[in-house]
Structure 1
Amino acid sequence: MSEPRQAIGLYGGTFNPVHHAHLRLAEEACDALNLQEVRWIPAGQPPHREAPQVSAEQRLTMVRLATAGNPRFSVDAAEVEAQTYSYTILTLERLRQHYGPAQPLVLLLGADAAAGLASWHRWQEIFLHAHVAIAERPGVTLAAAQLPSALTAEFTQRAAHGDALHHSPGGCVVHFPLTALAISATRIRQLLATGQSARYLLPDSVVDYIRAHSLYHTA
């Protein structure tokens, strides 16, 4: 093992829109894993989902508003600016080149996203560039998911404790507990589409931006 270096968390997603459960995951990851920072990476064109009804630039702006004022958060606009499909492996290759070969990088995933990792583009190469940290909340854990055998074997082989993240640039899988917040972007969009309030589910700055730009068919 190399000399320990404080790891950097990488948190990608559509953030459509960003909400308090996203923010708590990033905040709790910082504390649980002793991260130097969390770099938020809004997807430009997510390959696994239908195109969001708001623009990538608007989702990026909402993430910037939501994370403003937290010195442990930064925002990476490269996937939005690229205007191509946002594949995690390509982002990791870019960031590995940016940070150099020794900096520990940690890809932050919710347990539901981690359960689908085997469907991602070149997923096994992710471990060449970063660790994977899986956030588990009550009722949403990997143990409760039916994982493909290849993914189960990969996670088992790479299982480690949190301290291991700071001793190598990548290759480990760790788990950390997450406060249960029953907030989803899908539910928020449903509320906004019918003219109902989403306040207190996402930051006031994001609520105000959504209203000002009439996003998600708000009244």
Structure 2
Amino acid sequence: MERIGILGGTFDPPHLGHLLIAEEVRLAMELNEVWFIPTYTPPHKDAAKTKAIDRIKMLQLATESNPFFKVNTIEIERSGKSYTLDTMKYLKKEFPKKDFYFIIGADMVEYLPHWHKVDELLSLVNFVGVKRSGYQVDTEYPVTEVDIPMIDISSSMLRNWLRSKRSVNYIVPDSVISYIEENRLYEN
């Protein structure tokens, strides 16, 4: 059975931290692929700052050099609030011969008790937690911990940098920086 990692998020913008997490978990968990699933509207955050089509394009550019990375737009196509349970029910139905590993940061591991129908979700997916500065991967839920090199960056930090014209070189893939500049994203 194929083992598929799922990395969800707004990816607004995608950055090297996302790519590093995906690759380190792929290797540690011996995953066949990692599917990046951009959310339309996350249930625990405000709406994304850029249009879905721009976030999809940036994610495609960010992942195109890795043959093990795929972009899946199921949550964008569904629109509205995106609950992981709905996504995983759909994926399990569409791909019954795949085992799914949902990759989350330590901040989300701490938040698991508040996830929508988390107990039902646990029957559909295996959780993989990665460390994040300021958080622990301690939980009563079954979460496999994967150590990754610590890179303390966030999309919100990068949006602030971009608005203030600060360079994001070496943190955001060059192709994504070009797309951001060409489309004048994050200027306001």
What is the TM-score with the length of structure 1 in the denominator?
0.81
2:105 aligned to which of 102, 107, 110: 110
Residues 177 and 138 (structure 1 numbering): CA distance in 2 closer, same or farther, change over 3 Å?
farther
1:89 aligned to which of 81, 85, 90: 85
The percent identity for this pair of structures is 35
Residues 177 and 137 (structure 1 numbering): CA distance in 2 closer, same or farther, change over 3 Å?
farther
Q: Structure 1, residues 90-126: CA drift from partner, whole Å, max 9, x if none?
A: 00000000111x5211111111111112222112211
Contact in 2 for aligned 1:6/1:34 (Cα 8 Å)? no
Residue 216, structure 1, aligned to residue 186, structure 2: yes
Provide the rounded CA distance (Å) in 2 between the counterparts of 1:43 and 1:139.
24
2:136 aligned to which of 134, 141, 145: 141
Displacement, 1:138?
Answer: 6.3
The answer for the alignment partner of 1:131 in structure 2 is 126
Q: Structure 1, residues 23-74: CA drift from partner, whole Å, max 9, x if none?
A: 0000000110000100110001112111122111111111111000211101
The answer for the alignment partner of 1:14 in structure 2 is 10
Residue 29, structure 1, aligned to residue 25, structure 2: yes
1:193 aligned to which of 163, 166, 172: 163
Secondary structure class of the residue paired with 1:128: coil
Residue 178, structure 1, aligned to residue 148, structure 2: yes
Provide the rounded CA distance (Å) in 2 between the counterparts of 1:27 and 1:74.
12
Opposite residue 125 of structure 2, the aligned amino acid is A
Flag the structure with higher helix content. Answer: 1
Residue 41, structure 1, aligned to residue 37, structure 2: yes
Secondary structure class of the residue paired with 1:11: strand
Provide the rounded CA distance (Å) in 1 between the counterparts of 2:133 and 2:8.
22
1:52 aligned to which of 48, 54, 62: 48
Secondary structure class of the residue paired with 1:57: helix
What is the TM-score with the length of structure 2 in the denominator?
0.94
Secondary structure class of the residue paired with 2:40: coil
Residues 138 and 17 (structure 1 numbering): CA distance in 2 closer, same or farther, change over 3 Å?
closer
Higher alpha-carbon Rg: 1
Contact in 2 for aligned 1:45/1:56 (Cα 8 Å)? no
Secondary structure class of the residue paired with 1:142: coil
Contact in 1 for aligned 2:105/2:129 (Cα 8 Å)? yes
Provide the rounded CA distance (Å) in 2 between the counterparts of 1:137 and 1:216.
25
Contact in 2 for aligned 1:137/1:179 (Cα 8 Å)? no
Contact in 2 for aligned 1:193/1:216 (Cα 8 Å)? yes
**Residue ranges of structure 2 left out of the alignment (5+ in a row):** none
Opposite residue 30 of structure 1, the aligned amino acid is R
Contact in 1 for aligned 2:85/2:117 (Cα 8 Å)? yes
Count of residue pairs brought into register by the alignment: 188
User: Where in structure 1 do 4 or more consecutive aligned residues deviate above 6 Å?
Assistant: none
Displacement, 1:133?
Answer: 0.7
Contact in 2 for aligned 1:9/1:39 (Cα 8 Å)? yes
